[in-house]
């Protein structure tokens, strides 16, 4: 089986979707597949874990990058294409070339369609057209959550096969030893700092409330944002707090992430309730669990389908007070918290393991290509 994964991001990078397909791509190669990544972004061509990675956008414009991708697919002898993008500029030409060359055409979906978030009459009309036509193009869609599975079941054609692959984590990346750092004893968050997608503002407020009791603990915020206005709001909020134990690390590389998470004493994710959190499942949560550190996380979307009081510290969403109480509780009995963290690691090594889920994905792709 020869597979191409098409996306618009540089590879490798710290992006969650890139980490996901690099993880399962590596395992598919071990199972006997030939895997190529074709990207419209600019980076150096490389080979990683047996995957051939091509920058089709190097020193060129988007249209030219698209033509380069289509050219590789036309001559590549692929059995299947997985597109990890919502761009119609990619989707429709890819559908056409797959149709012509009898290649199975798939998409990976990790959250509800972005068009559903737009407001206004014209936006709603466009959203309706998008969701009721685009998903009928695919032979298969790989979805991350049960809400997505239910939503897309009425949007696809009869020939389309939906397949659920939950959040996956390459646990090998986190098989490293803990080390002392300049940040002392710290709670870590890693992800997008923009807006309140991951509840960064809620986390800052919860930590501020708890900081008078957990006096020797810092909060390390890892990540950046392309939205300068939202980032400035976070920076301003941090500056306004009387305690100076909130550290803005900034963006981290893919290679830096494992150590930054492993060396924390606690990992936190205060995702609020939203359309995005209902349909998605944060990849960073798998990385958190893989460290074996205690994880405090809000109970949104599919998270409570897998996590409970035995393997994590679940908190109701949008409740800063409860999140603060959870932080205090974890530090009040760190011996128990570490036991809970190890059970979370067990979950990462089984249900969320890239190795386990890739075997399922390989079988699905083989049956689709027959």
Convert 263-276 to b/e letters by CB count within 10 Å (16 or more is b).
bbbbbbbbbbebeb
Within 8 A by CB and 6+ apart from 240, the residues are none
By C-alpha distance, which of 284, 312, 261 is closest to 198?
A: 284
Query: pLDDT value at position 267?
Result: 98
pTM: 0.86
Query: pLDDT value at position 195?
Result: 67
Residues of the chain by 3-state class (helix, strand, coil), percent to 5:
45, 20, 35
Within 8 A by CB and 6+ apart from 146, the residues are 164, 302, 305
Would you give the end-to-end CA distance of the chain in angstroms? 10
Q: Do 344 and 359 fall within a single domain?
A: no
The 3-state DSSP class for residue 202 equals helix
One pLDDT digit (tens) per residue for the chain, 370 residues: 999 999 999 998 878 889 899 999 999 999 999 999 999 998 899 999 999 999 998 777 788 999 999 999 999 999 999 999 999 999 999 999 999 999 999 999 998 887 777 778 888 888 889 899 999 999 999 999 999 999 999 999 999 999 999 999 999 999 999 999 999 999 999 988 876 788 999 999 999 999 999 989 999 999 988 788 888 898 999 999 878 899 999 999 889 999 999 999 999 999 999 877 788 888 899 999 999 999 999 999 899 999 999 999 999 999 999 999 999 999 999 999 999 999 999 999 999 999 999 999 999 999 999 8
Cα separation, 311 vs 339, whole angstroms: 8
Torsion of CA 195, 197, 200, 203, to 10 degrees: 140
Q: Do 358 and 343 fall within a single domain?
A: no
Q: Do 70 and 203 fall within a single domain?
A: no
Q: Do 334 and 357 fall within a single domain?
A: no
Q: Do 207 and 69 fall within a single domain?
A: no
Count of alpha carbons within 13 angstroms of residue 136, beta-carbon side = 9
Cα separation, 295 vs 311, whole angstroms: 8
Q: Do 210 and 159 fall within a single domain?
A: no
Count of alpha carbons within 13 angstroms of residue 87, beta-carbon side = 16
**Contact call for residues 170 and 284 (beta carbons, < 8 A):** no
Q: How many residues belong to the chain?
A: 370
CA distance readout (Å), 92 to 13, 81, 84, 178, 184: 26, 13, 13, 47, 51
Q: Do 204 and 283 fall within a single domain?
A: yes
Count of domains forming the chain: 2
Name the DSSP class of 40. S
| CATH number of the domain within which 202 lies | 3.40.50.2000
By C-alpha distance, which of 7, 5, 10 is closest to 28?
A: 5
Q: Do 127 and 181 fall within a single domain?
A: no
Q: Do 218 and 257 fall within a single domain?
A: yes
The 3-state DSSP class for residue 226 equals coil
Q: Do 181 and 159 fall within a single domain?
A: no
- Helices 62-76 and 88-100, interaxial angle, to 10°? 20
Q: Which domain holds residue 180?
A: 172-349
Cα separation, 142 vs 161, whole angstroms: 9
Q: Do 177 and 264 fall within a single domain?
A: yes
Q: Do 220 and 90 fall within a single domain?
A: no
């Amino acid at each position: 089986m020869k597979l191409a994964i098409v996306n618009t991001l540089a590879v490798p990078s710290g992006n969650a979707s890139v980490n996901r397909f690099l993880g399962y791509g590596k395992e598919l190669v071990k199972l006997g597949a030939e895997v190529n990544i074709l990207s419209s972004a600019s980076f150096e061509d490389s080979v990683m874990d047996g995957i051939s990675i091509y920058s089709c956008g190097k020193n060129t414009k988007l249209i030219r990058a698209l033509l380069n991708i289509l050219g590789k697919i036309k001559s590549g002898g692929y059995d299947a294409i997985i597109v990890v993008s919502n761009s119609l500029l990619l989707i429709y030409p890819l559908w056409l070339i797959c149709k012509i060359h009898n290649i199975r055409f798939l998409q990976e979906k990790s959250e509800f369609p972005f068009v559903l978030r737009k407001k206004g009459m014209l936006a709603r009309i466009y959203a309706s057209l998008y969701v009721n036509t685009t998903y009928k193009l695919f032979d298969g869609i790989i979805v991350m959550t049960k809400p997505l599975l239910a939503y897309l079941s009425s949007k696809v054609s009869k020939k389309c096969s939906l397949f659920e692959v939950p959040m996956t984590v390459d646990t090998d990346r986190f098989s490293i030893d803990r080390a002392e750092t300049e940040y002392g004893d710290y709670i870590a968050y890693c992800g997008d700092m923009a807006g309140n997608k991951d509840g960064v503002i809620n986390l800052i407020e919860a930590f501020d409330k708890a900081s008078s009791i957990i006096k020797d603990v810092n909060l390390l915020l890892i990540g950046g944002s392309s939205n300068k206005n939202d980032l400035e709001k976070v920076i301003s909020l941090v500056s306004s707090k009387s305690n100076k134990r909130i550290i803005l690390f900034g963006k981290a590389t893919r290679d830096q992430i494992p150590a930054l998470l492993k060396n924390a004493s606690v990992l936190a994710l205060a995702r609020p309730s939203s359309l995005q959190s209902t349909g998605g499942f944060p990849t960073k949560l798998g990385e958190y669990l893989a460290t074996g550190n205690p994880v405090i996380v809000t109970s949104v979307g599919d998270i409570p389908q897998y996590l409970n009081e035995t393997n994590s510290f679940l908190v109701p969403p949008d409740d800063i007070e409860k999140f603060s109480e959870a932080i205090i509780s974890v530090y009040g009995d760190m011996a128990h918290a570490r036991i809970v963290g190890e059970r979370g690691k067990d979950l990462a090594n089984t249900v969320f393991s890239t190795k386990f889920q890739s075997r399922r994905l390989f079988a699905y792709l083989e049956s689709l290509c027959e």
